[in-house]
Structure 1
């Protein structure tokens, strides 16, 4: 009830502020690149049974070694250690561990810390059951001019790192840094501030077949790192939120169209089903679903297609994930601890068909590529998670038969003295079994020399 009371108070305090601004204040929504169907299309995928789940975990003072860490869980039911933690690799200190992403060959995992601005590169190929920390980038701010490494998205030979803010004022103006897979800085592209752009950034996702990249906007580092109680009382901070989404020509890294998207657009997801030409995002307090689709003339258009739950009750949609067929969308709502499944067979007219309470709070959702298993974790930010008995911190795995979720295993991260369970990624024991998304997709556009 801690956060719910905070948000209800927020609703009263901000009555004089435009609804678009309020949307950005309510909650920090972790970004998108959690599961197999949300990995970069340039990364080979685990299309069958995943062997391991990696959980990027926030350290907690007074708990275990108190450090941020990469936790490895055995996820193969045929294994003797199924559903158990088999490795935990601490990085030293607490830097607000947040998101991670594979390189284009899936041999390395990049993971970021919002507060310390460190980027950790793990070898997850030599022995996928026991990742090794092989490099730490301490110069992200100095090289890129940005702070808060947030989203990690692979392209051939490169890694896009979308950041929360700029290094000058830690406010809303931000951009995307590009690195080589070896960790060498290449360039920075700032978010647009003209033609309707507000300069804010959040998530990024690419459709190679359309040469299109969709980015969303939320809020800057200052607001992410502020105590929630202080934030809702700070009128100036409440004005610092983005309300746009941008469709880019990815090969040139130039904006094609900027959309006004009130309500704080969060994760960007593309349907990669053959023939599909649409992406989806959701908004925070307005609880809206937006679809981006080309019209008959090939121009990208934004459509509001659905409402999640009862916005008056502030369900707060957080992580979302499309199934590999593009015909279903998992949506987690933090405040009620619910997961919701939407039928996206017709993306212009989606329908909610299933709900289940996962915990007192729930954040990330990660379905397997074959859609038969779905995983959930809980943490938003260390300062913003619920308090007391409502502060669930777990990894839960479910089997999904298309009608109901059946619990397969659960790991209590507090009981195991691990910390706050945040971002998830899957891995195979044998990387030779991995497959490209589509035979044509990964080779459709070669970005290896871009920029």
Structure 2
């Protein structure tokens, strides 16, 4: 009799996931910013140092339409399938679910049988998402034990509310809106969960109309972009609590809960302070039966001459760090922080989440600094943006494009896309791999996913 076995890339605990074999391929969004007929693509990059094509694109699949602006794609299935309440324990980690922030399409990409030759097997048009869920501008994908969760920035008319909708694991049909009772939640950005505490957490950016033409200075200075966290009953799909970080802390983005399901804390970044242009990192945590938040890291702006700055920053005579992504290693020890404005990638030891210690830093790109790379010593632009950490925590990959309308404001001379890799000292410290610099030329690189899973893909139900 045949025996069903879970996908071998699923791991019951973060400790077991850290012992997984190293990734050999990375899947990377490639965006065409040129307004011509060339579609965006998912590129396959060789990340095996023993390979003759190490650090090169070895395959890609182009989308069916130009102008999609692919964004934060994810796997159809992950280690949450091994949770005791998972109704789909034998779904396979095989398909990439790829939302397009520009067009509101969703592509389903099959990575088997040959992961270097992925192929599109389904296209979900925006009309289906609008009709079944009432949402548009799909943004981030997470695989849950009961379906594929996708966040959306807003409604088809460009306003809010934003929220989450669900795809079926098998058919990829849009099942509908996730929220039963959204309380006072209106703006939306990221989401993730504490499975062991039956809690979902969501953050805030802005509605499609607020973000799709770049940063709107009047909205920013009035504190109109997102600055709150929302906590939800995951099983009952109901809003439970709102925490306001303060109007001055504009644009609350990436959520990184602890991977250990017995730990009830996580990290979120805010992009810019209206007081001094700094960025900050906050910890949310359980306190007396509810949730609380505390700021634990401030990253200051750097002074600059007016003629070095894009128009949007000239009045301030400073470069804000613009922290636009963070990632937490699977052992919950190191937090990586992308400073897209100043061109710095920071590593913090967060073994004590309330007392982070800066343990490593590299510079590359930046609005003013334009730092080079060992394999590309000339000036580079863009800066550390989408960051991904391997399951064993020994390698960090990142790219340099944020979002086309915002790229144009902060890097008005255009961004040449690149992807780089860092090697991690297990005791703390990071350094560039001098043999890994992938030049995307006039194309932009964004989200990275690693074959078999990575630090921001899977959730675990066992410590």
Question: Which interval holds the TM-score relative to the shorter structure?
Answer: 0.7 to 0.9
Once residues 330 and 223 of structure 2 are traced to their aligned partners in structure 1, the CA distance between those partners, rounded to angstroms, is 37
* Alignment check: 8 A CA contact 2:26 2:47 kept: yes
What residue in structure 2 maps to residue 171 of structure 1? 159
Q: Distance in 1 between matches of 2:146 and 2:24?
A: 26
1:127 matched to 2:100? The reply is no
Residues 249, 274 of structure 1: CA spacing in aligned structure 2 closer, same or farther, 3 A cutoff? Answer: closer
Map of 2:205 onto structure 1: 218
Partner of 1:348: 354
Cα 1:253–1:378, aligned 2, differ >3 Å: closer, same or farther? same
* Aligned equivalents of 1:316, 1:143: Cα separation in 2: 35
CA contact (8 A) 1:45 1:437 kept: no
* SS, match of residue 254 in structure 2: coil
Q: For residues 118 and 95 of structure 1, what CA distance do their matches in structure 2 show?
A: 7
Provide Cα deviations, 1:167-193, integer angstroms capped at 9, x if missing partner.
2x4124222111102221212135966
The aligned residue for residue 59 of structure 2 is 87
**Contact 1:174-1:190 within 8 A present in 2 as well:** no
**C-alpha distance in 2 between matches for 1:124 and 1:260:** 41
Q: Structure 2: where are the runs of 5+ without partners? A: 1-8, 78-91, 274-278, 303-317, 367-382
C-alpha separation between the residues in 1 aligned to 2:458 and 2:269?
Answer: 27
CA distance in 2, matches of 1:190, 1:239: 26
1:72 to 44, 63, 71: 44
TM-score by length of 1: 0.79
Aligned to 2:276: none
User: TM-score, length-normalised on structure 2?
Assistant: 0.77
Q: Which runs of 5+ in 1 are unaligned?
A: 1-35, 442-451
Q: State how 1:13-32 maps to structure 2 within 5 Å.
A: none
From the superposition, tell whether residues 209 and 377 of structure 1 become closer, same or farther in structure 2 (CA, over 3 Å). same
Deviations 1:315-354 (A, max 9, x none): 1111100111111100001111110111111111112222
Q: Residues 188, 306 of structure 1: CA spacing in aligned structure 2 closer, same or farther, 3 A cutoff?
A: same
C-alpha change, 1:389 and 1:405, in structure 2 (3 Å) is farther
- Secondary structure of the 1:266 match is strand
Q: Which moved more, 1:133-142 or 1:397-406?
A: 397-406
Q: How does 1:198-347 map to 2 (within 5 A)?
A: 198-228=185-215, 231-232=216-217, 240-262=224-246, 263=249, 264-273=251-260, 275-286=262-273, 287-295=279-287, 297-310=288-301, 313-347=319-353
Corresponding residue of 1:384: 406
Which deviations, in whole Å up to 9, do the C-alpha atoms of 1:104-149 show, x marking residues without a partner? Answer: 1321110111121100000123222221110000022222211100
The number of equivalent residue pairs is 386
Sort the Cα spacing of 1:95 and 1:47 in 2 relative to 1 into closer, same or farther, 3 A: same
Pick from 95, 112, 116 the counterpart of residue 99 of structure 2. 112
Which one has more relative contact order, counting CA pairs under 8 Å at least 6 apart? Answer: 1
Aligned twin of 1:19: none
| Pair 1:48 & 2:21 matched | yes
- Maintained 8 Å contact 2:327/2:388: yes
Residue 290 of structure 1: CA displacement? 1.2
Equivalent pair of 1:110/1:120 in contact (CA under 8 Å): yes
RMSD between superposed Cα atoms in Å = 2.8
